[in-house]
Structure 1
Amino acid sequence: MADNNSSLTDSPTATATSTAALPIAPGDWALDPLHSAVNFTIRHLGIAKVRGRFSEVDAALYVGETPADVRVTATISLASIDTGNADRDAHTRSADLLDVERRPTMVFRSTGVSGSDEDWSLVGELTIGDVTRPVTLDVEFGGVVDVPMDGSRHAGFEATGEIRRSDFGLDFGGGMLGDVVKIQLDMEFVEPREPQGQAG
């Protein structure tokens, strides 16, 4: 899991943030992996779309008192790619394409957040292998609900954006695969509980 203890202001790429009130409580929110997904779409031959997902993701959300204190990190296993075709997935993992032996993960680290109400913008850095590039995600806040079964409180987010494969040295399949990869993340996080043994 990527380190999420560094402050946004420590990064040279940190961006200005909104002063809007945050819609969720401060603390370390844990990912609910059963209700989260990392999906992508890429063009094939310029005429059709191939859709897929990465099934193994570890993410964390730290919420401070202001948007300037928010930190988001995510580590995704590239070997967990699933496009619905086992042969295609095996080839994609190989040295011909993703080369997951050399590039086992892609890691996102936020550097800034801005917005209000339901619409937010998350700026960060995406690292694939030894290449790091800036990425901006449009984030829709889905709200917060209490789960009656265990009393936990969950928050939902949908994040969308796109990257260019060539920016990360993944320019294989020219003419067959598009350069632009569209990303959709549906993420659900669980609110931190009150520390045990402390009175209110």
Structure 2
Amino acid sequence: MNSKTIATTPTALPLTAGQWTLDPYHSAVGFTIRHLGISKVRGEFGRFEAGLTVGGTLDTCSVTATVALDSIDTGNADRDAHVSGPDMLDVANRPAMAFRSTRIEGQGSDWIMEGDLTIGEVTRSVTFDVEFGGVEDSVVDGRRHAGFEAKGEIRRSDFDLGFGLPVLSDSVKIQLDMQFVEPQ
């Protein structure tokens, strides 16, 4: 962290208050699911938006995100078409996945973020373990950037996405690598 970083205390946060914007060129939304219980299939979603609102305390901080489900990329176009189709994600009827945080807590580099995840008409509470990577000045744009890695797990059946069990596991691990740019 650079010298401009604010120390984390119960009343001070390590980020400047305001609306931080996503740096999409240094961010990724990935997932892992087991196939036949013996191997993992990894993928990413190529189109997503996210926002980080920092207030004076953790209670006034929030994270929002929207992921375009038709932007799935598992490295296999035929598989992506099948997963996007009506018997799996059904992107025609479920075009997006949305997240809104409800609670953030922690200090230093280790944080927990809870929130509501919505896929289609179903909303469930999820928890992410968040690692705060720090804040650094970018030599490219001269602005401060903050980095985060978040990991969580959902059950497909909780979102009415149980097709293919047990060929595909019910559990899907989610990994988010996010970089946000400080407000001006």
Task: Work out whether the TM-score is over 0.5.
Answer: yes
Establish whether residue 99 from structure 1 lines up as the match of residue 102 from structure 2: no
CA distance in 2, matches of 1:156, 1:65: 19
SS at match of 2:161: coil
Q: Which residue of 2 aligns with 1:46?
A: 37
The within-5 A match list for 1:10-29 is: 19=10, 21-29=12-20
Q: Which residue of 2 aligns with 1:36?
A: 27
Letter in 2 for 1:29: W
Q: CA deviation at 1:187?
A: 0.1
The within-5 A match list for 1:49-128 is: 49-128=40-119
Q: Which residue of 2 aligns with 1:170?
A: 161
CA distance in 2, matches of 1:116, 1:33: 25
Relative to the length of structure 2, the TM-score reads 0.94
CA distance in 2, matches of 1:104, 1:93: 9
Q: Which residue of 1 aligns with 2:147?
A: 156
Match of 1:132 among 116, 123, 127: 123
Match of 2:170 among 168, 173, 179: 179
Q: CA deviation at 1:151?
A: 1.2
SS at match of 2:79: helix
CA distance in 2, matches of 1:186, 1:20: 26
Return 5+ residue gaps in structure 2 as ranges.
1-8
Q: CA deviation at 1:19?
A: 2.9
SS at match of 1:95: coil
Task: Report Cα offsets for 1:11-66 as digits up to 9, x if no partner.
Answer: xxxxxxx9363111111000000100000000000000000010101000000000
Q: Which residue of 1 aligns with 2:6?
A: none
CA distance in 2, matches of 1:47, 1:149: 43
CA contact (8 A) 2:11 2:56 kept: no
Establish whether residue 146 from structure 1 lines up as the match of residue 149 from structure 2: no
Q: CA deviation at 1:190?
A: 0.2
Task: Report Cα offsets for 1:80-122 as digits up to 9, x if no partner.
Answer: 0000000000111110111000000000000011000101100
CA contact (8 A) 1:20 1:116 kept: no
CA distance in 2, matches of 1:136, 1:174: 23
Relative to the length of structure 1, the TM-score reads 0.86
Aligned-residue Cα RMSD (Å) equals: 1.0
CA distance in 2, matches of 1:166, 1:181: 10
Q: How many residues align?
A: 176
Letter in 1 for 2:98: V
Q: CA deviation at 1:146?
A: 0.4
Identity in percent: 64
Letter in 2 for 1:45: L
